[in-house]
Amino acid sequence: MSQLSFSSFDASLMVRDAQGHYLLATADQILEAARQAIEHKMQRGASFSSPAAVKEYLRAKLAGFEHEVFAVLFLDTQHRLIEYAEMFRGTIDSAEVHPREVVKAALRQNAAAVIISHNHPSGNPEPSSADKMLTQRLKEALALVDVRTLDHIIVAGGTTTSFAERGLI
């Protein structure tokens, strides 16, 4: 987790152990608490009011992993959250993604739209050529069943890259 630094928080973030003693929180404990907080904040039916809200949600969910995670936000016709799903896990620099499985999950959720996302543990938010090709394949596969692909967001530590904002989708 070299891209994240919690040194300025060390003295103020504490966790309680099973015996009730308070100890300094580790970076992993802080990230897990952030994931739980964002999960509580954005529950089924919550509306993403702006691209910034989507990025904040995905940063909280995907930042800090030491391996790639490919996730999908399944949305209804009003772009409200149906479900967040981490669909594929990979290595430090890749994750194998199967478009068929994404389409099946979208149909199971009765999603009208999706936002796809994955993290770059390297901290580099730039989309690779493989990221661009995968996005196109997923967009085409999902379009066959009338599911719109709204964006593909790459999370790299505290920064994000939006394919929609760059005109890549």
> Residues 16, 85: one domain?
no
- Residue 5: its pLDDT value, please? 45
What's the 3-state SS for 24-58?
ECCHHHHHHHHHHHHHHHCCCCCECCCHHHHHHHH
> Residues 59, 90: one domain?
yes
Alpha helices (H) in the chain, listed in sequence order:
27-41, 51-62, 99-109, 129-143
Instruction: Report if residue 131 sits inside a domain.
Output: yes
Tens digit of pLDDT at every position of the chain (169 positions) = 334 444 444 456 777 777 877 778 777 776 666 666 655 555 556 777 788 889 999 999 998 889 999 999 999 999 999 999 999 999 988 899 999 999 999 999 999 999 999 999 999 999 999 999 999 999 999 999 999 999 999 999 889 999 999 999 8
The whole-angstrom separation of Cα 63 and Cα 157 is 5
Instruction: Report if residue 66 sits inside a domain.
Output: yes
Q: What residue numbers bound the domain in which 37 lies?
A: 10-41
pTM, rounded to two decimals: 0.73
> Residues 82, 137: one domain?
yes
Q: Give how far the C-alpha of residue 124 lies from the chain's centroid of Cα atoms, to the nearest Å.
A: 15
Instruction: Report if residue 123 sits inside a domain.
Output: yes
> Residues 90, 138: one domain?
yes
> Residues 59, 102: one domain?
yes
> Residues 132, 93: one domain?
yes
> Residues 59, 137: one domain?
yes
What's the first-to-final CA gap in the chain, in angstroms? Answer: 30
Number of domains in the chain: 2
Instruction: Report if residue 148 sits inside a domain.
Output: yes
102 touches 139 (CB < 8 A)? no
> Residues 28, 87: one domain?
no
Instruction: Report if residue 112 sits inside a domain.
Output: yes
Instruction: Report if residue 157 sits inside a domain.
Output: yes
Instruction: Report if residue 168 sits inside a domain.
Output: no
